[in-house]
Amino acid sequence: MQLLILRHGEAEPVRGDDAARQLTERGREAVARVCEMRAAELAGVRAIWASPFIRTQQTARIVADLLGLPVKTESLLIGDTPPELVLNALQQVDTASYPLLLVSHQPLVGRLVNGVCGSGNRHPMGTSSLACLRAPVWADSCGELEWLQHAY
């Protein structure tokens, strides 16, 4: 099975409610650039899940508009969720829903990518970074990183 993980684009500075922060224009452009660079790989995505935060919803919408897919809001995808909870949820997903794209935050995206690959902290997930993982089952050290695309 294939899982794609996208960190939201650059967001405006924190000025109160972190969940309400929006993407900057630069953030929108970076997400669009990553989508363009990986258009062939994204074309196979069958479902998109995103954190409820505004910046991740905006990031997911950029991809969803390109693919003609809806975005499913998943409260599990906020940044401080333990990765094990997300992996447990992924194990419940019908295999026909893969490749699946998750749009989320740090530290969750980094922990998922590096945890599934058993790679410590070797694979950084900057804003707008998109990773592609392949695994027979979603659990720690059970998968491999197929590729990692950074915006810059």
For residue 80, give the CATH number of its domain.
3.40.50.1240
> For the chain, how many structural domains are there in total?
1
Among left, alpha and beta (phi > 0; psi -120 to 50; other), residue 138 is beta
Whole-number pLDDT of residue 56: 98
Burial of 113: CB neighbours in 10 Å, binned 0-12, 13-18, 19+: buried
Q: Which domain holds residue 104?
A: 2-149
Residue 15 has pLDDT above 90, yes or no: no
Whole-number pLDDT of residue 53: 98
Question: 27 and 127 in contact (C-beta within 8 Å)?
Answer: yes
By DSSP bridging, strand 130-134 and strand 71-73 are unpaired
Q: What average pLDDT does range 2-19 have in this prediction?
A: 95
Whole-number pLDDT of residue 63: 98
Q: How confident is the model at residue 60 (pLDDT cuts 50, 70, 90)?
A: very high
pLDDT tens-digit readout, 101-148 = 999 999 999 999 999 999 888 999 999 999 999 999 999 999 999 999
Q: How confident is the model at residue 16 (pLDDT cuts 50, 70, 90)?
A: confident
Whole-number pLDDT of residue 14: 87
